[in-house]
Amino acid sequence: MNWRRLNGQKIEAPLLEAVEETIAREIAEGYKLKVCIGTDSQVVGDEVHFATVIVFLREKRGGFMFISNDKTKREMSLRERMILEVGRSVEVAYSLCTLLDLYDVALEVHADINTDPAFESNTALKEAMGYILSMGFVFRAKPDAVAASCCADKVI
């Protein structure tokens, strides 16, 4: 995955190194951090565009994010797309969890899945929740899944 900041600046260092530098800097500046990871997708013509974000939240002081965009030409159902979104988020969370534990930074995985059964994305809720929780991560779904439903949604 290639990562960038919201202003478009490319993150050249390997992800783990960039995240560690970021955490060390933020802690040195006196911030208490929480990291939220989420992915959103959108069908554009015959492609599916994905955006995965790592949101660094400073307690009572705003936040910022790292962004990775990707696309595929594969046709898939909504349920499959939702599970792929969760899989991308879990993959990133898993790669960072040891580092975040080392710095005592809370981690949440956000899924762009509605908890209301009236919405079509709800069909993947149980699988997504089971997958994230079984990996030992804190799970958030809409309306509390801001990393996926707000941040990633804006950068697809």
Give the distance from CA 134 to its chain's centroid. 17
Cis peptide before 143 (omega within 30 of 0): yes
Retrieve residue 138's tokens: 């804190």
Q: Say how many Å lie between the first and final Cα of the chain, rounded.
A: 15
Look up the pTM and report it.
0.95
**Mean per-residue pLDDT, 91-102:** 98
> Beta-carbon neighbour count of residue 140 at 10 Å?
21
The separation between CA 44 and the C-alpha centre of its own chain, rounded to angstroms, equals: 21
Per the structure, how many domains does the chain have? 1
pLDDT in tens, 45-72: 999 999 999 999 999 999 999 999 999 9
43: domain range? 4-154
CATH code of residue 105: 3.30.420
Contact 34, 99 (CB under 8 A): no
Count of positions (residues) in the chain: 156
Please report which confidence band the pLDDT of residue 120 belongs to, taking 50, 70 and 90 as the band edges.
confident
> Tokens at residue 136, please?
């030992």
